[in-house]
Amino acid sequence: MRDNENLVIAGRDITTFVSEWSAVLTSGGGEARGLFDLAVGDDSGYFYGSGFLMRNIAARATVPTATEDELLLFAVLVVFQLSGFPGVDPNRWEGVEAHLRSAFAYFKEIGETEAARKLRMDVVNRSLSEPSRV
């Protein structure tokens, strides 16, 4: 992410965390690198690229020890994904940095209240459509 960007979500500045996390991914680190490789040269690039990013944050954000920074980044990426990646060409993934810029821009555009509503509605819809695990 650019040095002059401040990524503030729910009153918390996650700029440093996002920059360090994305630097690892853009320098060849992270899990599921095969998804990244598919994203770069495929017409379905956005599907694979977003999958790569989600694989690398969801595993961290869905455990009881998740940090607030991990949870907030996960929320930003989920809202962008649930909304169908607005404002981007779904056939062309432009990389980690571009995806993050688009996701944060969308999150800021709709605002935290609307983002929270989208997340809540996704949870409600899943609970109504998925069988109980009890």
Instruction: Give, rounded to a whole angstrom, the gap between the first and last alpha carbons of the chain.
Output: 42
If phi > 0 it is left, if psi is from -120 to 50 it is alpha, else beta; for residue 15 that is: alpha
**Mean pLDDT (the chain, rounded):** 88
Q: Which of 24, 23, 51, 21 lies closest to 36 in space, CA to CA?
A: 51
Provide the whole-model pTM: 0.86
Q: What is the pLDDT of residue 65?
A: 96
pLDDT tens for 47-67 read 899 999 999 999 999 999 999
What residues does each domain of the chain span? 8-129
